[in-house]
Structure 1
C-alpha cells in the first residue's frame, strides 16, 4: 500500500511548477507530486504521450489548468487505466475555434517581435485577472518570470499544439474517474459555461465556480483550490457529488 497518492500537476501555457506552488506547499505532506514540463513538441497528443512516458507511477491522480487541463484530457483518453482521479481547472474541452486557429501564428510572430517577457506582461498577464479587476501585480511578475524561463520556442510549440488540438468533448462520457471541475466566474479565457458543460457530460464530476476569480485560480484563490484538491484526493469511485459551500 502506498504511503501517499501520486499526484501529477500540469501547468498552462508558458507556466511551470510555480503556477501550482500554493497547492504543492499545501499537499506535499499528503501526496507525491510531479509537475512535468509541457514543451516536448508542437503536437498535443504527442506531447501527452511524452508526459505519460515520463510519469514514474503505474497509476496516478491528474490535475491540469488551462492548457494543462487540455493535456490532461489527452492523457485520460490515451491511458485511462493509469488515471485514478481527474481534475480540470480553468480549461476548455473543445477544439480551437476557426477564428482562434487563424490567430495563433500571429501570436507567435507578435511574441517574437516583442520578446517573450514583454509579450507575457502586456498581452497575456492582463487576460488572467477576473473580468473587471486589475489583478495582483505579483501574479503578473510571476507570469513574466515563468515565460522568460520557458522561452519563445516553448511558446511556439505550445501555440501550435493548441491550434491543432483535437476536440476532447466527444470522449467526456467515457471518463469514469472521480473528476473535479473548477473555474472562476470571471475567467475571460475559459468561461464558466465550458466548465458547466464538462460537469454535465462527465458522469462523476463535481463542479466548483469560484466568485471573483479569473483564469489562474491556483494563484488567485490558493486556499480554496488547495482544499478542493485535498478533498478530491480522498474521493471514492462513485461518491455523492460535492459542491462548494
Structure 2
C-alpha cells in the first residue's frame, strides 16, 4: 500500500478545508487530518502529533499547518517520507507582525470574534477568483466552529514560532511548495524564497487565488498534490 498521508490544516481550519483532497487522494492511501490547535506553541503541537502519527508518512501542511510540518521535519526527518508546504512562511514573525497579532487576539477574546473575522481576517485569506464567496463562507463556518479561544491560541503559537531556515537546507525529501498567486498572508515572494532554500523543491503557483488554495482552487490543489505523491523518493 502507498505510504499514509498526513494533512495539517491552517489557522481557523479543520478537516473540511481538505474535503476535495480527502475524497480523491484516499482512493490510493490512508489519509489523516491532524489537528493543529492542541497546544500553545508550535513545538508543543509537533510533540503531541509525533506521539500518535504513523512511523513513516507523507506530510502536507497549510499555513500554520506548514509551520507545524516544518517542526515535525526538524524533529523527526527520518519519519517524513515527502513534504508539501502550502502557503507556508518559514521565518519567525518580524516585530511588526508579532505586534499586529495582539489586537486580533484581544478582539477575539473580548466578544468581537465574528466581526473581526468578517472585517479583518477573512478578506485577507482569499483571492479574487470565482470561488471567493464560497471559500470565505466556508472559512467563516470553520472558524466559528473552532471558536475565539482556539483562534487566539493559534495566533499566539504563530507569534512565537521559530525561524526554520536551517531546517529547510537539510530537507532532502521530495518537496512541493504550493502557493496562491494572490496570497496576502504569505506573499508569493516569501514562498519562492522558501523553495530556493530547499534542495530539489518544486514550486507550484495557482493563479487567481489567495492563501486558502484548497478551497479557492480545489482541483488545481489536488492535481498538484497527486503529482507530488507520485514523485520518486530518490531525487537526483
TM-score, with length taken from structure 1: 0.91
Secondary structure of 1:73's aligned partner? helix
Partners of 2:9 and 2:63 within 8 A in 1: yes
After TM superposition, which residue ranges in structure 1, 4 or more long, deviate above 6 angstroms?
none
Q: 5 Å matches for 1:1-245? A: 3-55=1-53, 57-130=54-127, 136-239=132-235
CA RMSD of aligned residues (A): 1.6
**CA–CA distance in structure 2, aligned partners of residues 105 and 128 of structure 1:** 18
1:243 match: none
Once residues 131 and 226 of structure 2 are traced to their aligned partners in structure 1, the CA distance between those partners, rounded to angstroms, is: 26
* Change in CA separation of 1:134 and 1:106 when aligned onto 2, cut-off 3 Å: farther
- How many residue pairs match? The answer is 236
The alpha-carbon deviation at position 118 of structure 1 amounts to 3.1
| Distance of aligned partners of 1:18 and 1:216 in 2 relative to their CA distance in 1, 3 Å threshold | same
d(CA) in 2 for partners of 1:106, 1:160: 12
> What secondary structure sits across from 2:179 in the alignment?
strand
Question: Within 2, Cα distance between the matches of 1:18 and 1:81?
Answer: 29
Would you say the 8 A contact 1:64–1:72 is kept in 2? yes
- 1:39 deviation in Å? 1.3
Task: Tell me, in whole angstroms, the C-alpha distance in 2 between the residues paired with 1:136 and 1:212.
Answer: 10
TM normalised by structure 2 equals: 0.95
CA contact (8 A) 1:121 1:143 kept: no
Partner of 2:192, secondary structure, is helix
Report how far residue 114 of structure 1 moved. 4.4
Shift, 1:155, TM fit: 1.2
Q: Measure the CA separation in 2 of the matches of 1:144 and 1:46.
A: 26
**What is the distance in 2 between the residues matched to 1:39 and 1:173?**
27
1: CA distance, partners of 2:112 / 2:27: 39
Structure 1 gap ranges (5+)? 241-245
